Structure 1
Amino acid sequence: MLVDSHCHLDRLDLATHGGSLDSALDAARACGVGHFLCIGVSADNAAAVKALAERYADVDCSVGVHPLDLEPGAAPALDWLLGELEHPRVVAIGETGLDYHYEPEAAELQQEAFRLHLEAARITGKPVIVHTRAARADTLALLREAALPQAGVLHCFTEDWEMARAALDLGFYISLSGIVTFRNADALREVARRVPAGRLLVETDSPYLAPIPYRGKPNLPQYVREVAEFLASVRGTSFEKLAEQTTANFQRLFPLARVNRG
């Protein structure tokens, strides 16, 4: 079985499934996807992701505030985040991190919020899901500063092997999305070949970044199979072995997730 380790089920474009999330999840299950991690990005969608995790036995969720969803001039309150993390279906923190590509002017606020999420990770022991774009040095610096005893993940990884190796040295996992299938992603495919088998995750980041051959269309959790099949080919292994390994990795990183490998 496969796990879609990062998807935004509350934001899916369900037009191809008759407007039904049940249908979209069933289509993914038919492709061998046995579990989904639905990601929080703001205080506004925390209730939505928790409700989905409560509704479906094979869905867990995270809660956090994405760097591009921060309220102007204000980081989220630590007490709010810790309260949200008490929910039994919230198995991780985030996504959080730094994005200087779109909002370099908000670097200071993003760093404050990232530190807050990392402090919540230290307090709760839950893994942190990190978004990073055009902020390599600061992302690594803050992760080193936090010195978390538990692992986390750099999701939808798009950086080079140097950054991947630095994150791996800090105990983090690397999650790859459909971007690895894009024509201009040679450097990312080099990362895909070199990440240790025990530290690799697969994701869709749906509804964004659909893999080839669906690029330009809304992404869906079922397409994690295309990502996994492509990665297996790049790494010179079988799809079955990669699926088994990445699922085991997910369970190790997110021990509170209710993965049923049946």
Structure 2
Amino acid sequence: MKVIPENLPRAPEPLPSPVFDSHTHLDIVAAERGTAGSGWSAAAQIEAAAKVGVDRLVQVGVDVASSAWGADLATRENAVVATVALHPNEAPRLADLDAAFAEIVALASQPRVRGVGETGLDFFRTTGEGLKAQELSFRYHIALAKQVGKPLIVHDRDAHADILRVLDDEGAPDRVVMHCFSGDADFARECVRRGFHLSFAGTVTFKNAPHLREAAALAPLDQILVETDAPYLTPMPFRGKPNASYLIPLTVRAIAETRGVPLTEVCEAISANGERLLGPW
């Protein structure tokens, strides 16, 4: 049986040194592809990624159900660690934010749960009164990350200044990951100055994203991560097609080319950053 379904992009050339995917949604990939007869289960996705040198994955929660699912998966799959959270666009939809967050708190202390997120602010999909619940939820998650001593994974869409405002106001945790970094060089400098890690998705490969490549070039190598955010943000040349962790090598190669450094050096730095942030898998 083929590891990768025929309707997905072909596998890229394997990396010379293993890296990890700092942000993926194995459950959403499986649901969107359909698991009946396709072989595209979480286990198959993990296998496909390993074949190209992506040997570790971070399964990210976006609500109570996905957070619980990820926490359970991480206890069964050695290649996976989990994060738990209420997504910024989920918080305003909840009838009882405090009750849902209490369930996230209960999950956050599990040893295979290594981070709190994705949380943050999203001014693209949430507007008006919903922004109050979104910011309150973000503050809850910041406090939780500090309480359990785990990294905070930040979702930031069209909200750069307010993300920094809230983090500065609350006091950022020791470890912060800017998921799917989307800012320009100036914003990158502000994040780097605060010690945050910038996680670059397939968007860094897009022709219309020179600002992301500029950010990737200026950030210290020990503050750079890569991610898929699968099934979204598929790197070139497969933009618009479904994404999955096995396509990470395309993004890693783009960052190495942008920085003008050997591919192996970038791989080794990304891998070390993951171990430092999240601990051993």
Taking structure 2 as the reference length, the TM-score comes to: 0.87
Which piece of structure 1 moves more, 13-22 or 189-198? 13-22
**One-letter code aligned to 1:64:** A
- Counterpart position of 1:83: 106
Over 3 Å counting, the alpha-carbon distance change for 1:157 and 1:19 in structure 2 is: same
Instruction: Confirm whether residue 18 of structure 1 aligns to residue 39 of structure 2.
Output: yes
- Counterpart position of 1:191: 215
Percent pairwise identity:
37
How far 1:2 sits from its partner (Å)? 0.8
How far 1:110 sits from its partner (Å)? 0.7
Q: 1:30 aligns with which of 40, 43, 51?
A: 51
How far 1:136 sits from its partner (Å)? 1.4
Runs (4+) of structure 1 exceeding 6 A deviation are: none
- Counterpart position of 1:217: 241
- Counterpart position of 1:96: 119
Counterparts of 1:242 and 1:101, CA distance in 2: 32
Structure 1: gaps spanning 5 or more residues: none
How far 1:218 sits from its partner (Å)? 0.5
**One-letter code aligned to 2:60:** I
How far 1:149 sits from its partner (Å)? 4.6
Alignment map for 1:1-262 (pairs within 5 Å): 1-12=18-29, 13-14=32-33, 18-70=39-91, 71-72=93-94, 74-77=96-99, 78-105=101-128, 106-255=130-279, 257-258=280-281
Asked if the contact 1:61/1:89 (under 8 Å) is kept, the reply is yes
How far 1:15 sits from its partner (Å)? 6.1
Which piece of structure 1 moves more, 79-88 or 101-110? 79-88
Structure 2: gaps spanning 5 or more residues: 1-17
Over 3 Å counting, the alpha-carbon distance change for 1:149 and 1:38 in structure 2 is: closer
**One-letter code aligned to 2:66:** N
Which piece of structure 1 moves more, 15-24 or 237-246? 15-24
Residues 183-234 of structure 1, C-alpha deviations (whole Å, 9 max, x = no match) = 1001111101111111000111111110001111110100111100111111
**One-letter code aligned to 1:75:** L
Asked if the contact 1:65/1:76 (under 8 Å) is kept, the reply is no
Specify the SS of the correspondent of 2:89.
helix
Counterparts of 1:48 and 1:15, CA distance in 2: 17
Report the number of matched residues: 257
Over 3 Å counting, the alpha-carbon distance change for 1:149 and 1:130 in structure 2 is: closer
**One-letter code aligned to 2:231:** P
Specify the SS of the correspondent of 1:212.
coil
**One-letter code aligned to 1:209:** L
Which piece of structure 1 moves more, 220-229 or 11-20? 11-20
